[in-house]
Amino acid sequence: MSIIPLPQLLALLCCCGLAAATQGPTDPSTPPNLGLAHFHNLTFDPGTWTLSWACGGHDGAVMSCTVIDQEAGIRRRVRSRGCRCRFQPMELHRGVDLEVAGDKGHAQVHQTLRFENEGAPGSGAENLTCEILAAHFLCCYWAVGPAAPDDIRYSLRVLNATGHEVASCSAAPGTPPTRCQADDLTHLPRLAYIVVTGQSRTGLVRFLDAVVNTKGIERLGPPDNVSASCNFSHCTITWAPPPTWAPMTEQDFRFEIEWKKAEPSSIAQKVVIAGREDNAFAFPSPAPRGRLWVRVRAGDTRSDRWSDWSPALELGSEATTPPRALVLAASSCAALLCALALGAACRRLALSRRLLPPIPGIRDRVSDDERVNSETLRKDLLRP
């Protein structure tokens, strides 16, 4: 066994320390560099929800991508296609973390990218709500951010799942920038991504976005062609379903009918019925007869929302004209009764003539005429 001399041992230790010093200190927060070239230029496009990177080399590959919204508790994972990953539409205004996972040889590699909503806190719109009205208009409302600049101007865009714009609108100059209406809903999808962005000369403004089910935000209009009538026993109201933007069947509708007497102390009566083909409802006429108000509204069985009431119709007023069919029937019955009575009277007169013939009159002795002179008759009666 050989022993290393002390001068050589000191020289060896100095060389090792110099080599370690040239490598620099190790930062435990820095991930090891495994040389995956296709992780370079990792970028995220919020308009299409696409995460992409520069592909490089054939010895490594990205297997999956994950998007994480810590505040909302959302975590979605998709498989990569080529040098990108596309996620389904999701809200981004809270900021998200994006991760890519791949391998290089036998080593697993992960890389993370943080997407932030740029702009001053409180500058973006708040409390975004949207609804489809009259089957043709998309109306959205929001509140101005508490830290929004004075010259803020908001605009709204509606995108489909591929990031293509299907509707847009901007608040008119000089009007409160808290409402916007899109009139063309031709290409509006069932699942829509709505984003409100802001512009200001003072700097960047944060955006506010939401993913909505368009069938769930449609507000029905009141029923069409509402009519009502009453007779002596009952009243009937009929209507047509309101037009809708989303296709709806008869089973998707429900209707609420309300009627009450036109008196301050009268209590309204209501009934909810399911949609059906005839769209009619009958209820007993009020007693005693008087003025009556009736109206109807429409609802969707898949939600708790109702339309506005239709204009109230007045029924049973004092000037109500009897139904024409009833008048004709009464006239016919009266004419028939008169004819029967006249026929019976004629038959009775003929029968009485046959049973009780008239008494022959007194004839004149000279002329044999029934038309007897009264003077002659008086002399004949007085002659002994």
Confidence of residue 14 (pLDDT cuts 50, 70, 90): very low
Q: Do domains 43-115 and 126-218 have the same CATH topology?
A: yes
Under DSSP, the state recorded for 163 is: S
For the segment(s) 43-115, the CATH number from 1.10.10, 3.30.450, 2.60.40, 2.40.160 is 2.60.40
User: The pTM is what?
Assistant: 0.65
Cβ neighbours for 229, distance < 8 A, ≥ 6 positions apart: 235, 236, 315
Confidence of residue 216 (pLDDT cuts 50, 70, 90): confident
Q: How far apart are CA 232 and CA 315, in angstroms?
A: 12
Query: What amino acid is encoded at 234 in this protein?
Result: H
In sequence order, what are the beta bridge partners of 300?
A: 253
Mean pLDDT of 126-132: 93
Query: What amino acid is encoded at 343 in this protein?
Result: G
Under CATH, which architecture does the 220-315 domain have?
Answer: Sandwich (2.60)
At 222-268, the pLDDT tens digits run 999 999 988 888 889 999 999 999 888 888 999 999 998 877 788 88
Confidence of residue 348 (pLDDT cuts 50, 70, 90): confident
126-218: CATH superfamily: Immunoglobulins (2.60.40.10)
Q: Which of 20-24, 147-151, 292-296 has the lowest mean pLDDT?
A: 20-24
Query: How does 225-239 read in b/e, with b if 16+ C-beta sit within 10 Å?
Result: ebebebeeeebebbb
Delimit the domains of the chain by residue range. 43-115, 126-218, 220-315
Closest CA to 165 of 133, 193, 137, 202: 193
The answer, yes or no, to whether residue 49 has pLDDT greater than 90, is yes
Name the more confident of 77 and 344: 77
State residue 240's pLDDT score. 94
State residue 185's pLDDT score. 86
In sequence order, what are the beta bridge partners of 13?
A: none
State residue 380's pLDDT score. 56
